[in-house]
Structure 1
Amino acid sequence: MKLLILGGTRFLGRFLTETALQKGHEVTLFNRGKENPDLFPEAEKLIGDRNNNLTALEGRTWDAVIDTCGFVPWTVRESAELLAGAVGHYTFISSASVYNNLENPGIDENHSVNLLPPGKVEELEKEAAAPASYEYYGELKYLCEQEVKRAYPERNLIVRAGLIVGPYDYSDRFNYWVSRLAKGGKVLAPGRKSKKVQFIDVRDLAEWILRMVEENVAGTFNATGPESPLTMEQFLEECKAATGSDAELVWADEEFLLSNGVQYWSEMPLWIPDRENMDGFLAIDIGKALRNGLVFRPLSDTVRDTLEWESGRAAGDRKAGLDAEKEKAVLEKWKERAV
């Protein structure tokens, strides 16, 4: 199969490219050539910028395209329309962030989505605004989906991914817990032990997407994991076991954490307090993807592989996770409160 990947050298795109090459596909990458340019010498590389220069894509044909880096509808529109007559199947990597009304678990692909107010997309396009602040991330992703569907009404695959984790994940959300548990000692753990969490190993997602593309599947799919419900306690205990850690989990209630300045999601990744009424956000229904062959490797493998990659990174700031000194101070306050 002749496969075009828009992006293809960072995280999910990296593993999509790697998997496609391993399976013997003829891969072309289109990107700016700035992110890991030396990766995949066996792939064809076209240099351009989807924001203002698609010239390298003109006059070419492929069996399928996977769009890993579309964030605003006006740029997705240009690539989708340009490739409409040149590519047989268009896969767009969207996000579960398109959904609204997140109170209840079991959000499926027919759930209501976030919409921009009238005129807002035109205002953003005029300003050439990208969702760097993520203020309209979900809304813009949904509009990107619509552009793909307009250009490929019967030939589109929309993948609404949840939190993607594993090696080369620079968001540091999953990595924080893996590396923190591996260090051992008293580890501050957030809120209810039974709180549900969801994420998917980037390699499992990449392999499933490639199978869907090979089979020319169309439609919209939620794609996260694991297959069975996973609680925060089970996740942290798995991190502890997989890393051979002697860590002691210290569970503090959410009101205590919030009153002591602990930020959920950023400092305590994968934790959303009950008072936010967002139980559906990490309890997405993935039944449709499971029925279409989505499978998962053992969580312990993801933990160990992530730790191996994380241990090779240079020391420095991380995008998520609780500072060691702050954790120590909060643990001391929790101990004093218990006394």
Structure 2
Amino acid sequence: MDILLLGGSKFLGRAYAAEALARGHRVTTYNRGVSRTDLPGVEAVHGDRGSLDDLRRLVDGRQWDAVVDTSGQQPHDVAQTARLLSGRTGHYGFVSSVHAFADWPARPVGPESELLACAGDLPPDQPFATALKAGCERALLENHDGPSVILNCGLLIGPHEPIGRLPWWLDRVARGGRVLAPGAADRPISLIDARDFAAFGLDLAERRATGRFVTTAPPGSATTGELLDACRAATGSDAEFAWTADATLLGAEVAPWTELPLWAPAAEGWLGTWQADSTAAVAAGLRIRPLADTVRDTWAWLESGGRAEVAYRQLETPLGLDPAKEQSLLGS
């Protein structure tokens, strides 16, 4: 197949490119060429998807069997791209997020859940908001003429993760000693390796599937304890986990999700975090590798120079618990 990747050089886009090349497909990547280097073997086209002139240069006289959009963040840009690619591609796969659902993370969500209110015809350069992903979905469906699929992504982990949630835990556990562990060891979590996501997305593209798939590991497929145990095994650490109740952490004003990455307390507003229903995706062929394999591969990548790719922040918020604050909580 001839595949166009909108993005294609960073984390999930890179995973798509690697998987597509491994399957023998011909891959064109389209990105600005400023954040990461495109993989050897792809045709790298650089441009700004917000620029109509750049997009026209990309599509002029060309067609693709499938388009995969891993970089759509603005409804205006997605609408513009979808219009230009109509009639030029046999399939359009759009990577959205569970953030697009109105009830997430407060309540469980699934493919039929209500989306956040956000129009698909907004002006360009909207300030960041989670609702923009819902607007991007509408922009695609309103402007692309042809088969399309929407993949609402859960929490992605794996090598080349740029935010640094799993890398932060690996680094902290690697330092050893008593490690503040949030909540309870048996609390379910639901994570997906970017490589598994990409393999599933390409399966759908090859079949020209349509519809919507919540794409993450099934609820209860792993626990927080298993995640931290895997970090300890991968790093060879002597870490001792000090499991600390949600109420204690919240009382100490520890911020869920950022100060302790991947921590979603059993509290109002967070109860649906790990309850996204991926039944349809699993039935359609989504395969999830063992969590320990992803953790091991991520540690190997970090140790081989991967930390240079990690921001250790979520937007403008740094990730991780200050060591002095952790020691204070461990001593309380």
Amino acid corresponding to residue 296 of structure 1 in structure 2: I
Which residue does the alignment assign to 1:24?
Answer: 24
Which residue does the alignment assign to 1:318?
Answer: 312
The SS at the match of 1:204 is helix
2:156 maps to 1:156: no
Which residue does the alignment assign to 2:196?
Answer: 204
Which residue does the alignment assign to 1:87?
Answer: 89
Residues 256-277 of structure 1 show CA distances to partners (whole Å, capped at 9, x for unaligned) of 2223232111011111222333
Structure 1 vs Structure 2 CA RMSD: 2.2
Which residue does the alignment assign to 1:337?
Answer: none
2:67 maps to 1:74: no
2:211 maps to 1:219: yes
Which residue does the alignment assign to 1:125?
Answer: 123
Counterpart mapping for 1:153-192 below 5 A: 155-192=147-184
The SS at the match of 1:42 is coil
Amino acid corresponding to residue 147 of structure 1 in structure 2: A
Which residue does the alignment assign to 1:13?
Answer: 13
Counterpart mapping for 1:165-314 below 5 A: 165-225=157-217, 228-311=220-303, 312=305, 313-314=307-308
Shift of 1:104: 7.0
Number of residues paired by the alignment? 322
Shift of 1:101: 2.6
Q: Measured at CA, do residues 195 and 6 of structure 1 come closer, stay the same or move farther in structure 2, by a change above 3 Å?
A: same
Work out the CA distance in 1 between the residues paired with 2:200 and 2:322: 36
Work out the CA distance in 2 between the residues paired with 1:315 and 1:115: 34
2:53 maps to 1:55: no
Shift of 1:92: 0.4
The SS at the match of 2:257 is coil
Shift of 1:279: 1.6
Q: TM-score, normalised by structure 1?
A: 0.88
Residues 18-38 of structure 1 show CA distances to partners (whole Å, capped at 9, x for unaligned) of 11111111111111122223x
The SS at the match of 1:77 is helix
Work out the CA distance in 2 between the residues paired with 1:295 and 1:121: 32
Work out the CA distance in 2 between the residues paired with 1:13 and 1:223: 15
Report the identity percentage: 38
Indicate conservation of the 8 Å contact 2:74/2:136, yes or no.
yes
Q: Measured at CA, do residues 314 and 27 of structure 1 come closer, stay the same or move farther in structure 2, by a change above 3 Å?
A: closer
Indicate conservation of the 8 Å contact 1:196/1:283, yes or no.
no
Indicate conservation of the 8 Å contact 1:58/1:82, yes or no.
no
Shift of 1:304: 0.9
Work out the CA distance in 1 between the residues paired with 2:311 and 2:29: 30
Work out the CA distance in 1 between the residues paired with 2:60 and 2:116: 34
Work out the CA distance in 1 between the residues paired with 2:208 and 2:328: 54
